[in-house]
Chain A
Amino acid sequence: MPGPLIQIDQLSKRFDKGALAALDSVTAHVNAGEVTGLVGPDGAGKTTLLRLIAGLLVPSTGKITVNGLDPVTDSGAVHRIVSYMPQRFGLYEDLSVQENLTLYADLRSVLGSDREEAFERLLGFTGLAPFTNRLAGALSGGMKQKLGLACALIKKPDLLLLDEPSVGVDPISRRELWRMVYELVDQGIGVVWSTAYLDEAEQCARVLLLNEGALLYAGSPQDLTDRVAGRTYQIRHIDTDRREVLSEATKLATVIDGVIQGSRVRLVMAEGADPPNLAPLNAGLAAEISQIPPRFEDAFMDLIGGGFRATSPFADREDSAAHTMNQVVEARALTRRFGDFTAADKISFEVGRGEIFGLIGPNGAGKSTTFKMLCGLLQPSEGSARVVGLDLQNAPSKARGRIGYMAQKFSLYGDLSVQQNLDFFAGVYGLTGKSRKDAISQMIETFGFADRLDVNAMGLPLGYKQRLALACAVMHDPDVLFLDEPTSGVDPRTRREFWTHINAMVANGVTIMVTTHFLDEAEYCDRMALIYRSKMIASGSPDELKDRARASGMMDPTLEDAFIALVEQSDREREAA
């Protein structure tokens, strides 16, 4: 048995003197012929490690060998046996599929008869053969990713490095990608797959779990998951408010972590602790608790010492959204066309007060378009959108005053301090005088900004950035809060903190509209609409959607399974028509 493909020894990387280490004395190995998952939240050091392996960065201390070669001193030789697909796939968007392949074939010296053979093999493998003349920029996210993979595989490497290949790719394309990667592994290629999605770890033979530059765990994902075996439970048939049940449960010292899964609450118990007594949790008479199989994420939360436990100060806020209205958000046959292309086609739904409503769907399906029409950022071509009874077309600014909006990714002013950002957004929402002062000081108190007021937003830790973004969106006491992909790439603990705040606001009557492609997050929704190819193909609670997948013969479907089943069903119906 030969040694491991990659050997990493006491590897550290610091970008600036005195700054936190991007990687801190990591020792690990990667084997040939299997998928190694490089798993961790944004900022954990995944990309840095991949770049070090590819010889694109030089280690501060420590050493890496790839097949016995040093990526720094033997970069030429390492580049010949390693293929690297960076984030966003490294494609030239103004070149066609074939031209991209040709370029990489030239760069990797794939010539003569091998060349045509490689093109044919890869185009077949990725299903891109019908699109060879299409510009890479005109491909969908999933197709771009396949082309990126094809370019990386133009010459069979010993080692394939994939940096977040599943970002921006819908669940269906993601499954196809995994299938392709398993085929490569069968040919003896070593694959390193980096991801912020913990559920992907379960598909890897081994994982390297990174958090804040440190290696938390290396080994089989199953071994880690087994550590919490027998400690994971689900509370079902809750006939009270499941969000309150969760909030009560996480107050218990024996509960390490808790999340909402549709109508149920999932708990991870401390080692040796018994499942909690349901009566004090106020879950209702019909509620029952039972053991369920653990997930990798449960083990991860256990490893980092549990989830977010404090209660949200929003829970104590006065119920200011005191409207008796039932339909807070109303979409009626919302349609938006861009030229010949219909981005959203007759989308209708209603959302009640204090409800969490999710728009889910693959990238480019039309959920962002729908979302933008609902918060008045985009004019509908047909149909109408009403928020708190106001038509967005007739009274856009009045309606917008009742809306809070938290954009995808970090959209605050990075060069302004926390205080300045709060001041600015208070001004934008037209708060003046005492109400402005009160709102700002309330946010400072609520989110614990007091000792960080002068820090520039850019320099905040991720968790605080999230809090600040949320604070700026809710400062004016909106009736409806729009969240656009609020926690993508965020570590699970920060995500739990975020949802703790959201749940507390909902309890006070705020209505939440959320878009997400991250289906674990969709579990927090009361109801959701699945948007696919510009149309709403299904809507209902997470459990109702799962039931529809169950009806088509699946045993215990996850929301992702349900999603895929519904999309495939829609495809079949469209083809039949």
Chain B
Amino acid sequence: MKDREPLALRWRRLTGLIVKESRQVLRDPSSVLIAGVMPLLLLFLFGYGVTFDPRQLDVALVVEQQSSETASFQASLENSTLFEVETGPDRRLFERALTLGELDGLIVLQADFAEKAFRAEGAPIQVIVDGGDPNTAYLVSGYVELLWANWLEQEWISRGRPALAPSVQLEPQVWFNPEISSRNYLVPGSIAIILTTIGALLTALVVAREWERGTMEALLATPVGIVELLIGKLVPYFLLGLGSMALAVITAVLLFGVPFRGSLAVLILSSSLFMLCSLGQGLLISTVTRNQLVAAQTSVLTAFLPAFYFSNFVFEIDSMPLALRLISYGVPARYYVSTLQTEFLAGDVWSVIVPDLIGLGVFALIIFALTALTTRTRLE
């Protein structure tokens, strides 16, 4: 700004803009919906509905020829809490149900089961699963394998023979999320989704709306400077985002019993940095597109979906191919979700949190530099 104006006048303009924007936020049902209703909806969805914990699997057991061995295996299968078992003499009885997806798997004990069960070349047991649903398919075959190994061992012992091979004793111990409840790591992830929506989508929409309705043109023709304009937009949505985050955290901890083991300071600092990244992105998108429809699509594609895919929220980054893992480093949500999950489940683990915060800080700086460069006080 070349012209030197008294600071008081500039301050007055800035507060004028903030007041105006806040009034619009409070009057706009979509902002209330996104900042108030959406966090609760997401939390309830993840809290009660969506879960990635294993559920009971429906399988059918085909026993081609009854024997004491098959009866024993059937008993151990039925005793397992994992399976809901149906039994029959012929696989053809169940093929249709498997095709229709009513069954998750088909376990066939062939006619020579009793004969071959204890031979070294392996068991005549067949597991048929629906490859169209790979997750369930892996689960069924994995569990059956485990069960089979267990059963075999038990049988050897009960027949007074030593085990074929000393089997490894597994004694799983889960840290940080002892119940392995998926809710506990989905909640931090959904907070990142909410902040992305408020920051990138809502902000992009409101600024694009100003361009579409011609109010931006009227603003630019007043003595308002670009810095005032940007801050005037940022402050209300920043506060809205933090408020929404607080709502989500309180609901998660009090209502769903998700643990929170870190410190409030880190939570607020990381959320603020992430909010700045999202807001900057939203402003950048709206300045470039100047059209609500394009702004909405762009922010879904460049902010919402990456935050969804590349943040360890639902999809595990470590199991992605290298190219995708590299891309994930360019997504601010990755750093934020990592900090959040640490804060909720482990506590202030500085070796995780400090690099994440630095990453977020760098992104915020880059995005704001870009925004300030592209937003000019002209229409071109």
Contact = CB atoms under 8 A, between A and B. Distances in A.
Contacts of A90: 214-215, 217-219
A55 B20 contact: no
B3 A76 contact: yes
- Residue of B9, B217, B221, B223 with highest tally of chain A CB at under 10 A: B221
A76 B1 contact: yes
Contacts of A107: 13, 16-17, 219, 222-224
Contact of A87 (B5, B20, B214, B378): B214
Contacts of B15: 106
Contacts of A84: 217-218, 221
A106 B214 contact: no
B23 A79 contact: no
A406 B156 CA distance: 88
B373 interface: no
Interface residues of A, number: 37
A94 B28 contact: yes
B13 A106 contact: yes
B380 interface: yes
A109 interface: yes
A54 B222 contact: no
A99 B223 contact: no
Interface string B367-380: 00000000001111
Contacts of A94: 23-24, 27-28
A559 interface: no
A267 to B, nearest CB: 41
A56 B378 CA distance: 5
Contacts of B213: 88, 93
B55 interface: no
Contacts of A57: 378-380
A248 B24 CA distance: 60
A84 B379 CA distance: 14
A103 B19 CA distance: 8
Nearest to B221: A84
Nearest to B11: A106
A58 interface: yes
Given A51-B379, A76-B1, A95 B223 contact: no
B12 interface: yes
B223 A108 contact: yes
A187 interface: no
Interface string A65-89: 0000000001111011011111111
Contacts of B378: 55-58
- Residue of B2, B218, B377, B379 with highest tally of chain A CB at under 10 A: B218
A91 interface: yes
Nearest to B26: A94
20 contacts: A56-B220, A56-B221, A56-B378, A57-B378, A58-B378, A58-B380, A74-B2, A79-B221, A83-B221, A85-B218, A86-B214, A89-B218, A90-B214, A91-B218, A92-B20, A94-B23, A95-B23, A103-B17, A104-B222, A106-B15
Top 8 closest A-B pairs, CB basis? A106-B16, A90-B218, A84-B221, A76-B3, A107-B222, A86-B217, A109-B9, A79-B223
Interface of A: 51, 54-58, 74-77, 79-80, 82-95, 99, 102-109, 111, 151
